[in-house]
Each structure stands twice: as C-alpha cells, then as structure tokens.
C-alpha cells in the first residue's frame, strides 16, 4: 500500500530503460494473445465480413462486377481494417484502468509510460493478423499484386504505421470515455467519417462537391492512394509524401493529447 500511495516518489527513468520497460509489457500483451487466440476472434471475423459484403453486394453496382472491384477494394480495405483494429486499443486501456491493472503497474519499479507504450505496441499483432487475414481471403478470391514483393511489403508496413498512428486517437477516446461501454460508440462515430468519407469504396468524382472537399483532406485518402499505388502500380511518390506528412501531423496533435489524458487518468 505504501508504494501505491507514493507514485510520485519514483525516480526518473532513462528513455532507453523506459523503452525497454514498454517493450517488456508489449511482449506480455502479445503472449496473452498467443495463449488466448479467442481474443483475436473479432480481428479475424471483421476483415472477412467487410471483404465479402462490399465485394459481392456492391461490386456489381460500382464496377460492373465483383472481380474488377476486388482490385480497387482490397488496398482500401487494408487501410480501413488497420483503422478498425486500432480502435480496440482504447477499449482495452479503459478496461485495464477500470479493473485496477494500472494501479498494480504503478507499484512496480518501471517507467510510468511503460504500460501505455506496451499497450500500443502490443496491438501491432492485431493489425498484422487483421491485414493478413484480409489478404489471404483476397488472394483466394483472385486479387493479385501488380507490382512486386518489395512494394507489396512496403504497402503492408505503411498500413501498420497507419494503425499505430491512429491508435493514439483510440487511446484518447478510451481515456476520456466515462465507461468501457461508451468507448465503442465514440470510436464508431469517429471512424465512420474517416472511412466512408474517403476513396476506399468509390471514386470521389462521383460524390457531391462538399463531400469531395472532405475526401481530399481526409488522411485516409492519402494512405489508400499510396497503398493502391504500391500494390497495383501508378503514382506513389505524392501519396507517400502526403501519408508521411499526415503521420507527423497526427502524431503532433494526438500524441500529446493522449499522453496528457493518460497522465491525468493514471495520476
């Protein structure tokens, strides 16, 4: 009880040591996933459902058939799936804090940031599994990469970076929500304009003018353009540059807000 009552007395931890603490807790989260595969059920089911629903229900209306639509749809769904997977981070954080898990962490001689870093990095497995399941089914249905292994690998890495970037939004939502039950509703309200107000499912030229303005400034659009270029060919330099700018800008805005909410909630 004494250690819990005096968290401020903890000595300052060097950045390298703090990073080691965060990686240790990330490996803890990954081991939990490996030992309890059922926790990945939503991560596996979601990409399958999205691909089947959008390809077979809307492919004919949008592209005249689901086969040609598959080539356009899959790169966009990779970005969407990473975004949806990242939203689980906030719910897991809120649940752990509510159950007192972070109070136990505070009694340990670790950096205060370690539980947050561990939660964020540990969820990279979820992004990789979700995108991997999506691609496995897409290849089975006939999707083919038109470029090469290296651009395809870069597209995969870019999607993971996108998930890591947007997870700070999820962390912020999870830390400011009043209850765990409120997190999914808030996250959905944030995710829907980002995904459906983009070029994932349809050509922005077919949209109303006011919606086209949002699509152009939406960071999801730039990531989708970059992934499509890397997988299918075409212009990649511009979308990649815009994606990197979006990563820097989103981190500059979301990371301080998320850290401040974390310190306030766990302080």
Residue 6, in any domain of the structure = no
What pTM, to 2 d.p., does this model score? 0.86
Residue 4, in any domain of the structure = no
Dump pLDDT digits (tens) for 75-107. Answer: 999 999 999 888 888 888 888 788 777 777 777
DSSP class per residue in the chain = -HHHH-GGGPPP--HHHHHHHHHHHHHHHHHHHHH-GGGGHHHHHHHHHHHHHHHHHHHHHHHSSHHHHHHHHHHHHHHHHHHHHHTHHHHHHHHHHHTTHHHHHHTSSS-TTHHHHHHHHHTHHHHHHHHHHHHHHHHHHT---SS-HHHHHHHHHHHHHHHHHHHHHHHHHHHHSSSTTHHHHHHHHHHHHHHHTTTSSS-GGGS-HHHHHHHHH-HHHHHHHHHHHHHH-S--HHHHHHHHHHHHHHHHHHHHHHHHHHHHHH-
Residue 120, in any domain of the structure = yes
Dump pLDDT digits (tens) for 10-59. Answer: 556 677 777 788 788 788 777 777 776 666 777 889 899 999 999 999 89
Residue 10, in any domain of the structure = no
Dump pLDDT digits (tens) for 63-75. Answer: 888 999 999 999 9
Residue 51, in any domain of the structure = yes
Domain that holds residue 255: 15-266
Residue 36, in any domain of the structure = yes
Residue 256, in any domain of the structure = yes
Number of domains the chain contains? 1
Residue 185, in any domain of the structure = yes
């Amino acid at each position: 009880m004494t250690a819990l009552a005096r968290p401020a007395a903890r000595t300052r931890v060097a950045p390298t040591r703090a990073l080691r603490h965060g990686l240790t807790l990330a490996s803890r989260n990954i081991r939990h996933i490996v030992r309890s595969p059922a926790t990945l059920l939503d991560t596996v089911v979601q990409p399958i459902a999205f691909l089947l629903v959008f390809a077979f229900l809307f492919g004919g209306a949008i592209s005249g058939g689901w086969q040609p639509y598959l080539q356009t749809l899959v790169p966009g769904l990779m970005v969407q799936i990473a975004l949806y997977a990242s939203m689980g981070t906030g719910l897991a954080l809120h649940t752990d804090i509510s159950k007192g898990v972070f109070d136990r962490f505070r009694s340990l001689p670790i950096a205060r940031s370690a539980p947050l870093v561990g939660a964020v990095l540990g969820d990279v497995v979820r992004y990789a599994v979700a995108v991997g399941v999506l691609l496995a089914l897409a290849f089975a249905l006939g999707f083919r990469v038109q470029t090469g292994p290296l651009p395809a690998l870069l597209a995969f890495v870019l999607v993971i970076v996108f998930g890591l970037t947007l997870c700070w939004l999820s962390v912020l939502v999870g830390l400011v929500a009043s209850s765990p039950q409120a997190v999914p509703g808030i996250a959905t309200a944030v995710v829907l304009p980002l995904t459906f107000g983009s070029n994932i499912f349809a050509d922005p030229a077919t949209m109303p003018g006011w919606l086209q303005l949002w699509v152009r400034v939406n960071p999801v659009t730039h990531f989708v353009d970059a992934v499509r270029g890397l997988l299918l060919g075409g212009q990649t330099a511009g979308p990649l540059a815009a994606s990197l700018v979006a990563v820097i800008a989103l981190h500059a805005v979301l990371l301080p807000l998320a850290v401040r909410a974390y310190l306030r909630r766990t302080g």
